[in-house]
Structure 1
Amino acid sequence: MLNLSLSSPPVGTTLQNPKPCTIKLLSSITATPFTRLNPKSSFSLFTSKTLSLKCRYQDYSDKQQQGLPSNRYPPNDSSFGSQPAAASPPRFFVGHSIYKGKAALTVEPRMPDFLPLDSGDFKLSKEGFVLLQFAPAAGVRQYDWSRKQVFSLSVTEIGSLISLGARDSCEFFHDPFKGKSDEGKVRKVLKVEPLPDGSGHFFNLSVQNKLVNVDESIYIPVTKAEFTVLISAFNFILPYLLGWHALANSVKPEDASRASARTAGSAESEWNR
């Protein structure tokens, strides 16, 4: 009697690019000569042996599920074998700096924050902003960044700067601890005023911090050309600070068609008023 055992993938398993199942005999059959013991006795032609057949694909699958390496197949077979983990997308750090004799100004965007929902979608939780960093000069072409003062421009404040004319000015006041126990202990005032000759604007940041006993004012002249570069950068980055780029990148043509059909009735009623 032959006893065969065959290992195979579980029922319902989908095999991608299956390889031919190689069968390996783990034991052999031994033949015994025909021998009659007596007229009434039974006889056997073969000695009973147990045979075992093993499918190599199952061994490979088990190792893959356990995260173990497998060298069953050639390394140039891209269908099998461990694949390198997908690398996370690279991050980009950008900014623009203006250097003058008494101070330096660095402008850097900060992207908005999104909150994941239970549905798998995302909702804007915090708008982005533009971070201004002012550092006083410590020598010729040298700046003391350990004494830097920062000011975060909101999207509305960016809009005020974008709308400035050659002779216009604006002023922003920030209290980082507004509504908290330390309210009033830190005061930041940013003034943007035109230069007397109309060649640009002054950026003047005054900081009074009673918590660390700091009272400092840093100002830097920004020429018309430099101010134009800032305005151009602000115009470009503003929709991204609002998070609208995420919506635009997620819209598919079929989604846009359905959205247009849903809003057609409300749009017509709006124009008919």
Structure 2
Amino acid sequence: MPPLQSSFTLHSSHPQLSLLSGCPLRRRIFFPQTLTLKRLHVSCHRSNYFEQQSVPSRSPEQMSFASQSNGNHSYRVYGVLHLQGKAALSVEPRPPEFSLVDSGAFKVSKEGFVLLQLAPAVGTRQYDWSRKQIFSLSVGEIGILMGLGAKDACEFFHDPFKGRSEEGKIRKFLKVDPLPDGSGHFFNLNVQNRLLNVDESIYIPITRAELIILNSAFNFILPYLMGWHALAETINPEVSIKSNLTSQRPVPELEWGR
């Protein structure tokens, strides 16, 4: 499109001036001036960079942070947090499991969890990982830990064989108690394994700063452990708008009266 031109006339605000007779300049005349402005033309082109970078839709298993494959190369992403002191504590999230239903959709068959691994110290900053003990925190137990105050305590009990014939042969107790000076909490894991004739307790003090880091990591990973990330990545705004326009939303009274 050719550029457009516009013009307007600029007049002086002073009329013709009459000076005294003794002045060499009797009068001064101001002539109107005409200024011409050019309107600039700007054109923008939408880049197709983002279309080229778009990622095809994936199944919930592919969206999980478990092991994946890329072509001929398989890899696994590890997100492990290590805390060290009188013992070593390793914190690692484990992804949820999905199952395929008859309609072709996926559902969460098993929620993810956070795996705690504690190893006793055998020297200065040396730990015996061959004697490590493990404890799996469920989504609900993570919520309890995140809600602990400076003077709060909690205790979890696990029996891996609960409901089976071997029930009671392995008992695990995880106690979280506040430190006397209020600077953090003690994590004490006691494992009683009658199958291996093991009764061992491993404890490690966790400072308030380390608890803040743990809570931040828990807060981030919780939606993934619940499988909500798989749902979020399948939400299409265009489909949602069409669905809202074509479907009749339920009456609030009927919805609450179910």
Q: Give the match for residue 92 of structure 1.
A: 77
Q: 1:105 to 1:178 in 2, by over 3 A?
A: same
Q: Distance in 2 between matches of 1:263 and 1:164?
A: 44
1:194 is aligned to: 178
Shift of 1:263: 6.7
Alignment of 1:98-177 (within 5 A): 98-100=83-85, 102-177=86-161
Aligned-partner Cα distance in 2 for 1:127–1:183: 23
* Paired position in structure 1 for 2:235: 251
Offset at 1:260?
4.0
CA distance change for structure 1 residues 173 and 244 in 2, over 3 Å: closer, same or farther? Answer: same
Q: Structure 1 217/247 Cα, relative in aligned 2: closer, same or farther at 3 Å?
A: same
Distance in 1, Cα, partners of 2:197 & 2:248: 57
- Report % sequence identity: 64
SS in 2 for 1:134: strand
Q: Structure 1 or 2: larger strand share?
A: 2
1:242 maps to 226
Query: Does the C-alpha gap of structure 1 residues 190 and 255 become closer, same or farther in structure 2, counting only changes over 3 Å?
Result: same
Question: How many angstroms apart in 1 are the aligned matches of 2:111 and 2:73?
Answer: 24
Residue by residue over 1:185-223, the C-alpha shift from the partner in whole angstroms, topping out at 9 and shown as x without a partner, is: 110000011100000000000000000000000000000
Distance between the aligned counterparts of 2:123 and 2:251, measured in 1? 63
How many angstroms apart in 1 are the aligned matches of 2:129 and 2:248?
A: 52
Q: Distance in 1 between matches of 2:199 and 2:172?
A: 10
2:165 equivalent to 1:178:
no
Please report how far the alpha carbon of residue 257 of structure 1 lies from its aligned counterpart in structure 2 after TM superposition.
2.3
Deviations 1:152-211 (A, max 9, x none): 000000000011111111100000000011001110000011100000000000000000
Q: Which moved more, 1:88-97 or 1:209-218?
A: 88-97
Kindly tell me: are residues 229 and 263 of structure 1, through their superposed partners in 2, closer, same or farther at Cα, counting changes over 3 Å? farther
Paired amino acid for 2:180:
P
Which residue number corresponds to residue 207 of structure 1? 191
Change (3 A) 1:141 1:122: same
**1:264 maps to 2:225:** no
Q: Residues 225 and 119 of structure 1: is their aligned pair in 2 closer, same or farther, counting only changes over 3 Å?
A: same
Q: Deviations over 1:106-158 (max 9, x none)?
A: 00000000012344321110000000000001111111000000000000000
Distance 1:207 1:267, change over 3 A: same
Q: Take 2:248 and 2:194, find their aligned partners in 1: how far apart are those partners?
A: 54
Distance 1:123 1:89 in 2: 25
Letter in 2 for 1:99: Q
SS of residue in 2 equivalent to 1:198: coil
Normalization by structure 1: what TM-score? 0.64
| Cα displacement string for residues 47-84 of structure 1 (whole angstroms, at most 9, x for unaligned residues) | xxxxxxxxxxxxxxxxxxxxxxxxxxxxxxxxxxxxxx
Q: 5+ unaligned residues in a row in structure 2: which ranges?
A: 1-69
Equivalent residues, number: 188
One-letter identity of the residue aligned with 1:145 = W
CA 190–211 in structure 1, closer or farther in 2 if over 3 Å, else same: same
TM-score by length of 2: 0.68
Residues of 2 paired with 1:270 and 1:171: CA distance? 39
Amino acid at match of 2:218: F
Amino acid at match of 2:200: E
Change (3 A) 1:152 1:260: farther
